[in-house]
Amino acid sequence: MPITEHSTRQLASVLFDLDGTLLDTADDLGAALNYVLSQYGKASVSAKDYRPIASDGALGLLNLGFGEDIKNYDYEVLRQEFLDYYHDNIAVHTCLYPGAAELLQQLEANNIPWGIITNKPEGLTKRLLPHYPEFAQCAVMVGGDTLAKRKPDPAPILFACQQINVDNKHCFYVGDALRDIQAGNSAEMTTFVAKWGYILADENCQSWQADHMIDSPTDILGFIK
């Protein structure tokens, strides 16, 4: 899909959230949750229940699985057990969303750098990305613990722009959570809600005040051609 010289000049970069935006990681995160629950004799959580909050990380998932009973356990122990299992089984079920590979290929073909700004810990992100050759040309990656602040603070996004020497005001940011849109808006970027991601059925995404809501990764190409 051709992109005109004018739009290529105007668009400096496309930056993405990871979980629920480029990669569907829910089933591996859910497996980590259910492993920890099994160690304490707790009932497993179904995919329909863990998928909408998969991008909330260990805290959100463990709270889902243990409920109010979590106060009877050492949270840091539970979290470490969760992270250890996830670390060792990080790419069993995880896959790119349909259209993500095509989008990245088109950006690369038109010399538009792209990167990932995620709240997933940097170490886990670095372990995950090499499983997917489509990410080989990722220009920058900022994890949830790369800086002292993370999304919804705009600091990680602005740091990423500095790393690849692009003007944040000429960038897109794409994510599936309110914190993504808040961060992107605060960074003065054009923001996109990834409606295919981990969003509760009754969530009012319109209230997030994103610039655009899209149904597929390739929909972004319509804004830059």
Provide the annotated active-site residues: 17
Identify whether the C-beta of residue 135 lies closer than 8 Å to the C-beta of residue 129: yes
End-to-end CA distance of the chain: 7
Identify whether the C-beta of residue 186 lies closer than 8 Å to the C-beta of residue 176: no
Element containing residue 160 per DSSP (H, E): helix 155-164
What the block records as the tokens of 105 is 């290929």
CA distances from 146 to 8, 14, 79, 164 (A): 29, 20, 19, 16
d(CA 23, CA 197): 9
For residue 117, give every residue at least 6 positions away whose Cβ sits within 8 Å of its Cβ, in sequence order, or none.
Answer: 15, 16, 17, 141, 142, 151, 156, 157, 160, 173, 183
d(CA 162, CA 170): 13
Number of H helices, E strands in the chain: 9, 8
Pair type for strands 114-117 and 95-96: unpaired
Q: Which amino acid is at 28?
A: D
